[in-house]
Amino acid sequence: MSKVAVEEKGSKVIVEYMIQQNRPYSATDVYTNLHQEFGKTLVVKCLDSGVQSGQLKEKVIGKQKIYFANQDNFPKADEEALRNLDRLVVEQAEQLKAEQAELKNIDYHLKTLTSAQTTAQLKAKVTQLENEISELEARLNALKGTTKQVTPGDKKKAIESRDVCVSEWRKRKRMANEMINGILENCPKKKKDLLEEMGVETDEDHQVVIPN
C-alpha cells in the first residue's frame, strides 16, 4: 500500500473513530486505542487534518493537545428528548439498584446452601454421636454397677485434706504477692512485664480461682 493510500486510510479511520467515540483524546491515546495500527506521526497528522476540515476540534491544556469531535456537527437534542433521557437514566439507576439488591440476596442464599452440610455428612455425624452415646451409656452402667462405697470417715478425710491444700495455696499466694510487690517498689517495670521476665505464672493466667 502506497504512502498516500496509508494516509488516506488513516485519516478516515481516525476521524471516524473520534466521531464515534465522541470523547476527548490526545494523539497518544488515539495511537494506543487503535492498537498502534498507524504510526504516531501519522496519527497526529490525521488529527490535525480533521481539525482543518472542521470534523474535529482541538484544545491545548498545559503542554498537551486534546482532540475531540466537533459538536457543531451533531444534531441538536430538543428539551423533551433531554427530559426523556433524564427520566431514562433515573429509571435505569433504580432498576440497577433493585437488581443489585436481588443479586446480594441470591448470593447470601447461595453461600448458605454451599456452607450447609450434605446428607452424607449429616448421616456420618449422626453415626458418630450414636457411637459416643453408646460409650457414655456403657461407662454410666459400669459406674452404677460398682459396689464400692465411700465411708463417712473417708469423706471427712478427703474434706480435711482439701481444706489443708486450699489453706496452703492461699498462704503461698500471699507470700508470693508480698515478695513481688516488694520487688516492684524499686523496679521501673510493670508487674505484668516483671512476671513474664521472671517466668512466673499466676492463677489468672490459667483462669483458676481459689475455692472457698
- Sheet containing strand 64-69, edge to edge, reads 25-26, 64-69, 56-61
Please name which of 174, 178, 176 lies closest in space to residue 200, comparing C-alpha atoms: 176
Q: What is the pLDDT of residues 18-33, one digit of tens each?
A: 999 999 999 999 999 9
What does the pLDDT read at residue 148? Answer: 67
Predicted confidence band of residue 147 (pLDDT cuts 50, 70, 90): low
CA distance 56 to 62: 20
In this predicted structure, which of 74-88, 144-158, 179-193 has the lowest mean pLDDT?
144-158
What does the pLDDT read at residue 141? Answer: 84
Q: What is the pLDDT of residues 48-66, one digit of tens each?
A: 999 999 999 999 998 899 9
What does the pLDDT read at residue 180? Answer: 86
Question: In whole angstroms, how far apart are CA 144 and each of 35, 151, 152, 199?
Answer: 87, 17, 20, 45
Whether pLDDT at 146 is above 80: no
Q: What is the pLDDT of residues 105-138, one digit of tens each?
A: 998 888 888 888 888 888 999 999 999 999 999 8
Please name which of 120, 123, 201, 211 lies closest in space to residue 169, comparing C-alpha atoms: 211
Cβ atoms of residues 70 and 57 within 8 Å: yes
Helices (H) and strands (E) in the chain, counts: 7, 3
Nearest 10 degrees: CA dihedral of 153, 157, 158, 160?
Answer: 140
Any residues with CB less than 8 A from the CB of 208 and at least 6 apart, and which? none
Strands 64-69 and 56-61: antiparallel
